[in-house]
């Protein structure tokens, strides 16, 4: 079989490896040097590691330089001894924090000398207990989320982590049945040690991040504000960000108890977006995200020079708890069910500020291709407010569904933004 052309042999072995278990793949690798190279190329793109498996791989010399060059993703689970759960069920344990730090430090120490492949390496982080601990009895009505705990790195411990140049993507998407969650700021601290990271994908979906359960050392508001502080730690190399925080179909997730008149998280994200090319946010954010004071001056310098794609899903209420718009609701009844439908409405003052900020910001985004914001109205249909700029720069379109009455001042701001993106002598669409 070695006499087959490399591309045919490689295709056959790639298929065989994907339908074989680990033991069978090892036997294929012993056939010849050619087979070994093909099998290892199909086996090592994704590494599943924890502290124990990493130690075993180091002791046996499993990850050789050749095999390391095949790695594209490291799925690493920081294991915390189950006995630490019983110390303070539902609370943050200092010993759990130290265990997570030691696990992350061990991993980064092992990969800090790796060379960077052209497409980089993704690090997918998780934290979990060594074994599922015995769960305490809770009062009736209290669900899984009340049993969960938050873990973070000890204070300033991230400064003792080694820099790793091969990591270009950092992902945090915890399993639904986990009992441990990383504090969002900790994700920022870890990512700060990757000078070449260009993509972050962080999904903080659990209720632990947006519900005040009464037994937490850190309230949802503290978590938001700490995350805002952590965002400033992210390297300037980041170009794509996907951030999800909580559930937008639940009014309980809206942080209506902000003491400040501004939202610190939206402000931090605003500065962060100025280095991005693509931004995807699924969280409660305010107009501060794009309402930059510099927009009050007729500066020709673009504030968002790289930003091409913006997709925002947020709640119909601001982080301060104010409604952004008013829609006339009617009830549509059929033989099978009754559903709420919305007709043309108008913007409240917070909504006007939001839309005006978007329009003025768009004039400072010379690379803009697509901008879309969706406001969630609990379980009801979402209001969509979108702007498309074609690849040729020939069209500029805004639409909303359901219909929304747009004040003249906002329309004029969009006309001004359109002129930035439309080439001289070309036409652009009307409303």
pLDDT tens readout for residues 153-205: 999 999 999 999 999 999 999 887 788 889 999 999 999 999 999 999 999 87
Mark 138-171 as b/e (b = at least 16 C-beta within 10 Å): eeeeeeeebbbbbbbbeeebbeebeebbbbbbbb
Residue 141 pLDDT grade (very low, low, confident, very high; cuts 50, 70, 90): very low
Task: Give yes or no for residue 38 having a pLDDT over 60.
Answer: yes
Of the ranges 3-12, 76-85, 226-235, 319-328, which one carries the lowest mean pLDDT score?
Answer: 3-12
SS3 367: coil
Among 155-169, 229-243, 310-324, 365-379, name the one with the lowest average pLDDT: 365-379
Residues 34 and 53 in one domain: no
The predicted pLDDT at position 359 comes to 86
Contact status, residue 230 vs residue 153, Cβ threshold 8 Å: no
pTM: 0.83
Residue 258 covered by a domain:
no
Please check the confidence at residue 303 and state whether its pLDDT lies above 50: yes
Are 70 and 23 contained in the same domain? no
Higher pLDDT, 215 or 153: 153
Is the domain of 204 the same as that of 331? no
Is residue 252 one of the residues assigned to a domain? no
Provide φ and ψ at 406, rounded to 5°: -100, 120
Instruction: For residue 266, tell me if it sits in a domain.
Output: no
Same domain, 62 and 34: no
Round to whole Å and give the CA distance between 299 and 289.
19
> Are 308 and 200 within one domain?
no
Do residue 15 and residue 59 come from a single domain? Answer: no
pLDDT higher than threshold 60 for residue 333: no
SS3 416: helix
Residue 276 in this model has a pLDDT that exceeds 50: yes
Q: Which of 34-43, 117-126, 189-198, 224-233 has the lowest mean pLDDT?
A: 34-43
Last residue of one domain, picked from the residues 246, 274, 305 = 246
Q: Are residues 290 and 322 in the same domain?
A: yes
Query: Which residue range(s) make up the domain with 66?
Result: 44-246
Domain count, the chain: 3
134 and 206 fall within a common domain? yes
Q: Is 169 inside a domain boundary?
A: yes
Which H or E run includes 278? Answer: strand 278-282
With a cut of 70, say whether residue 275 has pLDDT above it.
yes
pLDDT of residue 19: 47
Whether 257 is in a domain gets the answer: no
235 and 374 housed in the same domain: no
Distances (CA, A) of 120 to 114, 276, 316: 11, 18, 38
Q: Of 141-145, 182-186, 270-274, where does mean pLDDT reach its minimum?
A: 141-145
Output the average pLDDT for the chain: 77
The percent of residues above 70 in pLDDT, for the chain, comes to 64
Both 20 and 82 in a single domain?
no
State whether 58 and 152 are in the same domain: yes
What pLDDT does 429 receive? 45
Q: What's residue 425's pLDDT?
A: 47
Residue 272 lies in a domain: no
Q: What is the pLDDT of residues 368-421, one digit of tens each?
A: 888 888 887 654 445 666 666 655 543 455 555 556 677 888 888 888 887 777
End position of a domain, from candidates 216, 246, 276: 246
Within a domain: 371: yes
**Band of pLDDT at residue 88, cut at 50, 70 and 90:** low
Higher pLDDT pick, 288 / 348: 288
321 and 371 within one domain: yes
Degrees to nearest 5, angle at CA 234 with 231 and 238: 115
Is residue 197 one of the residues assigned to a domain? Answer: yes
């Amino acid at each position: 079989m070695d006499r087959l052309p490399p591309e045919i042999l490689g295709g056959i072995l790639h298929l065989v490896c994907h339908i074989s278990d680990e033991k069978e793949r090892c036997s294929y690798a012993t056939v010849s040097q050619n087979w070994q190279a093909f099998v290892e190329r199909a086996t090592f793109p994704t590494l599943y590691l924890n502290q124990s498996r990493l130690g075993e791989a180091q002791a046996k010399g499993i990850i050789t330089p050749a095999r390391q060059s095949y790695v594209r993703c490291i799925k690493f689970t920081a294991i915390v001894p189950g006995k630490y759960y019983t110390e303070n069920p539902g609370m943050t344990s200092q010993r759990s924090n130290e265990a997570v730090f030691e696990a992350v430090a061990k991993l980064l120490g092992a990969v800090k000398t790796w060379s960077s492949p052209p497409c980089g390496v993704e690090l997918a982080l998780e934290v979990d207990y060594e074994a599922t601990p015995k769960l305490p009895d809770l009062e009736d009505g209290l669900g899984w989320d009340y049993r969960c705990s938050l873990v973070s790195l000890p204070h300033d411990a991230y400064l003792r982590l080694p820099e790793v140049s091969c990591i270009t993507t950092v992902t945090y998407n915890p399993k639904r049945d986990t009992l441990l969650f990383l504090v969002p700021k900790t994700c920022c601290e870890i990512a700060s040690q990757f000078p070449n990271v260009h993509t972050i994908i962080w999904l903080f979906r659990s209720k632990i991040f947006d519900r005040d359960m009464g037994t937490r050392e850190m309230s949802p508001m503290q978590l938001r504000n700490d995350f805002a502080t952590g965002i400033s730690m992210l390297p300037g190399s980041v170009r794509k960000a996907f951030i999800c925080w909580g559930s937008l179909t639940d009014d309980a997730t809206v942080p209506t108890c902000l003491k400040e008149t501004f939202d610190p998280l939206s402000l931090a994200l605003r500065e962060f977006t100025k280095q991005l090319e693509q931004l995807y946010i699924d969280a409660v954010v305010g107009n501060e995200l794009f309402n930059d004071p510099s927009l009050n001056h007729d500066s020709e310098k673009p504030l968002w020079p790289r930003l091409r794609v913006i997709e925002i899903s947020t709640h119909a209420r601001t982080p301060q708890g104010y409604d952004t718009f008013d829609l006339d609701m009617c009830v549509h009844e059929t033989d099978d069910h009754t559903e709420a439908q919305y007709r043309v409405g108008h913007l409240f003052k917070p909504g006007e500020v939001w839309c005006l900020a978007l329009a003025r910001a768009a004039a400072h985004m010379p690379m803009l291709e697509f901008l879309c914001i969706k406001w969630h109205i609990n379980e009801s249909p979402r209001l969509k407010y979108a702007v498309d700029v074609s690849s040729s720069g020939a069209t500029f379109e805004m639409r909303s569904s359901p219909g929304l009455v747009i004040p003249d001042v906002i329309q004029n701001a969009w006309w001004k933004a359109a002129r930035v993106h439309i080439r001289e002598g070309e036409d652009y669409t009307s409303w």
